[in-house]
Chains A and B, each alone.
Chain A
């Protein structure tokens, strides 16, 4: 029955697709930052500073609440497989990664905050029976961060932040496997979760001049160890001989560290410009291990090639009045993987983001920020794919086009 071992190996091959695509980092943690194209590290002047730059918390007085959500509507299509140019559309779905932040200033030099947000996540689904079904049907990853942060300002223009991050995550991956030489496809579903993972953050903010602010922020890697099950269903006859194994699995996933530096300049009293450089350490992830808990079933390990990558962000905020400001931003996000490793679990590419937004203080203590972000991924044509979409060795070459529309709303409330 060695013949059927390949089906086991295919199950174990499930995980890589999701991990090798670095673009599943979510950078929407507050409508204001999103409106500024994410160039917020040197600003960090609302409760979302807990995520962006905890050192900024000392700027806030009293107690602050910030609650919001981002509505993300991605769309992707794949044309191929080369030489064919047939269009395959990713199913359209809308995601709502939400955020809540609470900060409190204990003294002018000491503040603390707690929050919850979603720093990494992904959801892609392709139609049943589509040409890439042996690579991806549904892929879903959700991670939650609960950061507990502190900020201390030893002198007036300098502040430090540090935090502990509790995290939990769950993952679901489904796809088909061919039963060749037998007719029909098997269906494989892998789900798992990790209830306890942790990370940490450090940050600082320095204002050498009244008009100039410099920020830096470090967010650590988080090691997840998913525990869950792999279930393969197909023909009863294959199941009877154990060719479609099901069982408990464990798998490791490390989300990368982020190091961000930012600067913000108050050009005129009404206009502030900001810029960030965000470095993302994807190269820390170099191999993947999926283990069946049952020692009878073979485990698998595979090397993965990731590269560190970066995002450059620019933002502008124009204060129309004391109650209303207009936000605008632009960023460039460099894809972290070489094109040959791009898979339909996450159609990655270099991305350009353009955002606009408005911050309106409706009442003395209560305000609302709304932002719209459009992301255009550059057209990516893969000619040397390492992703195999047949029972044989045929590469999944073709052309990806992706874009996304994001709408974010945050409500903030200030208690003296």
Chain B
């Protein structure tokens, strides 16, 4: 009897001991096939988009989702970037309230996190960079904006760090890394500056011939490096929310016509409601600050921007309605200016396609992709990974609060377009990114709350305060 008792309990314990162990099958993630592409040393050249710039600045939680960084994660390669802790380098746009829609300008500043990295960054996107800069800019005072316009661009110092590295331009820093794979998305600013300034500053996009020559020169260098190269072209600037938001809003709020200055600041023209609704003229997002004054006597635009009131303007007359106080040229892109911008985009894209063809680069046709996203706005939007995207401001999900730069999720869409080209061109099978996994990137301004009697003030508020 005792024997049976012992054997039953012994058996039970053995059984329990065996099944009690961690016995689950090993799982392995599928291997990614890169085809003939090699991502060992991957460098991305570009401007603010490549830098992951959103809502007016660069900040880590946006830079993390910059399209080249997403591509690097997807292929599992190292990608060093000039991260800046949130909320970025100062001036991030945040939502103060949704109704009424109010934007807060967050003056708090984060700190650069990767300044001491001893080699050039893999992410060589410099906000504000023009095509010229890739070849010639080494610092804030050798970039095109300073050389031709007297405005230094400190991003060149922050990202190229030539005072420490002394390696040179975006191009030189790229080649110095002996790259195996390069993406190049540059040229947007060669037309965007013209367009966002309402066709005033600069007064014309980069000359198409110059653009072709510069782009060809860059292409030559990249081809000689032996790396695989994928380039992207320039999307139609006139369809971004920076231009498509305020005009239709004016009509909705009952503005009957908009009387505006043409580019000579002399001629006065009239935009009908239909012109405003159908993008025949484009009122810039900067104009949202002055739209509430339409029909009222004001010289706010001139005083705000430190511009003397022009002699042909009478501030006491109705703003934007009376021909003696027209809507300023700097806040509108009229039909003639739109043609100039569009022609520039077309010419640039012809150059880019030609260079890609010449050197056997992959080409991401961002322009076509963006145009089809824009076209789908009028049929309910485009569904990607189950999310409906439109090109509309904020609600469309594709753009950050500045109305120009893509949101984190839009970076996912862009990265996928690069991956599709890489897969086709190099026989790779890199999986696409699930855009739904990328978090929203439009920030709310956290307001100070007095709920418990004491003010709750976030610690970082005092970081930059001097006593």
Q: Do A and B bind each other?
A: yes
- Interface size (B, Cβ < 8 Å)? 47
Q: Which residues of A contact B (CB under 8 A)?
A: 1, 3, 79, 83-85, 178-184, 235-238, 240-241, 243, 270, 318, 320, 326, 328, 352, 354, 356, 372, 374, 376, 379, 388, 390-394, 399, 401, 403, 405
Query: What are the residues of chain B within 8 A of A403 when measuring CB–CB?
Result: 20
The winner among A181, A372, A393, A401 for most chain B CB atoms within 10 A is: A181
Q: Mark B240-257, 1 if CB is under 8 A from A, else 0.
A: 000000000000000000
Q: Mark B383-396, 1 if CB is under 8 A from A, else 0.
A: 01111000000111
Query: What are the residues of chain B within 8 A of A393 when measuring CB–CB?
Result: 385-387, 436
Contact indicator A183/B15 (Cβ below 8 Å): no
Contact indicator A85/B29 (Cβ below 8 Å): yes
Query: What are the residues of chain A within 8 A of B386 when measuring CB–CB?
Result: 388, 390-394
Contact indicator A390/B99 (Cβ below 8 Å): no
User: Which stretch (B198-206, B278-286, B342-350, B438-446) binds chain A?
Assistant: B438-446
Instruction: Specify which of B4, B387, B442 is in contact with A392 (CB 8 Å cutoff).
Output: B387
Q: Is B28 an interface residue (CB 8 A)?
A: yes
Instruction: Specify which of B8, B30, B443 is in contact with A318 (CB 8 Å cutoff).
Output: B8
Given contacts A184-B440, A237-B444, contact A392 B98 (CB under 8 A): no
Chief secondary structure at chain A's binding surface: mixed
Contact indicator B12/A394 (Cβ below 8 Å): no
Contact indicator B16/A180 (Cβ below 8 Å): no
Instruction: Specify which of A270, A356, A374 is in contact with B20 (CB 8 Å cutoff).
Output: A374
Given contacts A178-B439, A181-B409, A182-B95, contact A320 B29 (CB under 8 A): no
Nearest CB to that of A399 among chain B residues? B27
Q: Is B96 an interface residue (CB 8 A)?
A: yes
Contact indicator B436/A181 (Cβ below 8 Å): no
Contact indicator B95/A394 (Cβ below 8 Å): no
Nearest CB to that of B16 among chain A residues? A374
- 14 more A-B residue pairs beyond the given contacts A181-B397, A183-B440, A238-B98, with a C-beta to C-beta distance below 8 A: A79-B27, A83-B29, A83-B30, A178-B440, A183-B439, A183-B443, A183-B444, A240-B97, A318-B5, A354-B12, A354-B16, A374-B16, A376-B19, A379-B24
Contact indicator A179/B434 (Cβ below 8 Å): no
Give the distance to chain A from B305, nearest Cβ to Cβ, in Å: 29
Give the distance to chain B from A174, nearest Cβ to Cβ, in Å: 19
Query: What are the residues of chain B within 8 A of A379 when measuring CB–CB?
Result: 24-25
Given contacts A181-B394, A392-B436, contact A240 B99 (CB under 8 A): yes
A235 vs B1: C-alpha distance when bound (angstroms): 70
A283 vs B446: C-alpha distance when bound (angstroms): 48
Instruction: Specify which of A79, A182, A392, A405 is in contact with B444 (CB 8 Å cutoff).
Output: A182
The winner among A84, A237, A393, A401 for most chain B CB atoms within 10 A is: A237
Query: What are the residues of chain A within 8 A of B24 when measuring CB–CB?
Result: 379, 399, 401
Nearest CB to that of A80 among chain B residues? B27
Q: Is B452 an interface residue (CB 8 A)?
A: no
A235 vs B97: C-alpha distance when bound (angstroms): 10
Instruction: Specify which of A85, A356, A394 is in contact with B9 (CB 8 Å cutoff).
Output: A356
Contact indicator B98/A326 (Cβ below 8 Å): no
Contact indicator B97/A392 (Cβ below 8 Å): no
A328 vs B396: C-alpha distance when bound (angstroms): 62
Q: Mark B407-451, 1 if CB is under 8 A from A, else 0.
A: 101000000000000000000000100111101111111110000
Given contacts A318-B5, A326-B8, A328-B8, contact A354 B19 (CB under 8 A): yes
Nearest CB to that of A79 among chain B residues? B27
Query: What are the residues of chain A within 8 A of B431 when measuring CB–CB?
Result: 83
Nearest CB to that of B435 among chain A residues? A392
The winner among B15, B61, B95, B440 for most chain A CB atoms within 10 A is: B440
Q: Which residues of B contact A (CB under 8 A)?
A: 1, 4-5, 8-9, 12-13, 15-16, 19-20, 24-25, 27-30, 61, 95-99, 384-387, 394-397, 407, 409, 431, 434-437, 439-447
8 pairs of A and B residues whose beta carbons are closest in the complex: A393-B386, A392-B436, A390-B436, A392-B386, A180-B440, A392-B385, A235-B444, A85-B27
Contact indicator B16/A391 (Cβ below 8 Å): no
Contact indicator A394/B437 (Cβ below 8 Å): yes
A394 vs B438: C-alpha distance when bound (angstroms): 12
A240 vs B447: C-alpha distance when bound (angstroms): 13
The winner among A320, A354, A390 for most chain B CB atoms within 10 A is: A390
A376 vs B24: C-alpha distance when bound (angstroms): 11
Give the distance to chain A from B77, nearest Cβ to Cβ, in Å: 17
A391 vs B385: C-alpha distance when bound (angstroms): 9
Instruction: Specify which of A79, A84, A180, A401 is in contact with B397 (CB 8 Å cutoff).
Output: A180
Give the distance to chain A from B101, nearest Cβ to Cβ, in Å: 10
Given contacts A180-B409, A182-B443, contact A237 B95 (CB under 8 A): yes
Query: What are the residues of chain A within 8 A of B435 when measuring CB–CB?
Result: 392
The winner among A182, A183, A376 for most chain B CB atoms within 10 A is: A183
Give the distance to chain A from B373, nearest Cβ to Cβ, in Å: 15
Give the distance to chain B from A388, nearest Cβ to Cβ, in Å: 7
A379 vs B22: C-alpha distance when bound (angstroms): 11
Contact indicator A392/B384 (Cβ below 8 Å): yes
Contact indicator A392/B434 (Cβ below 8 Å): yes
Query: What are the residues of chain A within 8 A of B443 when measuring CB–CB?
Result: 182-184
Give the distance to chain B from A386, nearest Cβ to Cβ, in Å: 13
Query: What are the residues of chain B within 8 A of A320 when measuring CB–CB?
Result: 1, 5
Give the distance to chain B from A6, nearest Cβ to Cβ, in Å: 10
Query: What are the residues of chain B within 8 A of A372 when measuring CB–CB?
Result: 16
Query: What are the residues of chain B within 8 A of A238 when measuring CB–CB?
Result: 98, 444
Query: What are the residues of chain A within 8 A of B5 when measuring CB–CB?
Result: 318, 320, 326
A183 vs B93: C-alpha distance when bound (angstroms): 13
A238 vs B27: C-alpha distance when bound (angstroms): 41
Give the distance to chain B from A257, nearest Cβ to Cβ, in Å: 31
Query: What are the residues of chain B within 8 A of A181 when measuring CB–CB?
Result: 394-397, 407, 409, 440-442
Contact indicator B97/A237 (Cβ below 8 Å): yes
What are some 8 contacts across the A-B interface (CB < 8 A)?
A79-B27, A183-B61, A326-B8, A328-B8, A328-B12, A388-B386, A393-B385, A394-B437
Query: What are the residues of chain B within 8 A of A399 when measuring CB–CB?
Result: 24-25, 27
Query: What are the residues of chain B within 8 A of A180 when measuring CB–CB?
Result: 387, 397, 409, 439-440
A114 vs B39: C-alpha distance when bound (angstroms): 71
Give the distance to chain B from A65, nearest Cβ to Cβ, in Å: 28
Instruction: Specify which of A182, A356, A388 is in contact with B16 (CB 8 Å cutoff).
Output: A356
The winner among B24, B97, B394 for most chain A CB atoms within 10 A is: B24
Contact indicator B98/A240 (Cβ below 8 Å): yes
Query: What are the residues of chain B within 8 A of A241 when measuring CB–CB?
Result: 98-99
Contact indicator A394/B385 (Cβ below 8 Å): yes
Query: What are the residues of chain A within 8 A of B439 when measuring CB–CB?
Result: 178, 180, 183-184
Give the distance to chain B from A113, nearest Cβ to Cβ, in Å: 31
Query: What are the residues of chain B within 8 A of A182 when measuring CB–CB?
Result: 95, 440, 442-444
Nearest CB to that of B99 among chain A residues? A241
Contact indicator A184/B444 (Cβ below 8 Å): yes
A320 vs B442: C-alpha distance when bound (angstroms): 71
Contact indicator A183/B442 (Cβ below 8 Å): yes
The winner among A83, A179, A182, A184 for most chain B CB atoms within 10 A is: A182
Give the distance to chain A from B343, nearest Cβ to Cβ, in Å: 33
Give the distance to chain A from B19, nearest Cβ to Cβ, in Å: 5
A328 vs B19: C-alpha distance when bound (angstroms): 16
Give the distance to chain B from A185, nearest Cβ to Cβ, in Å: 8
Instruction: Specify which of B15, B396, B445 is in contact with A354 (CB 8 Å cutoff).
Output: B15
A84 vs B27: C-alpha distance when bound (angstroms): 9
Query: What are the residues of chain B within 8 A of A235 when measuring CB–CB?
Result: 444
Nearest CB to that of B4 among chain A residues? A318
Contact indicator B437/A390 (Cβ below 8 Å): yes
Query: What are the residues of chain A within 8 A of B99 when measuring CB–CB?
Result: 1, 240-241
A354 vs B96: C-alpha distance when bound (angstroms): 59
Nearest CB to that of B13 among chain A residues? A356
Query: What are the residues of chain B within 8 A of A394 when measuring CB–CB?
Result: 385-386, 434, 436-437
Contact indicator A236/B436 (Cβ below 8 Å): no
Query: What are the residues of chain B within 8 A of A376 when measuring CB–CB?
Result: 19
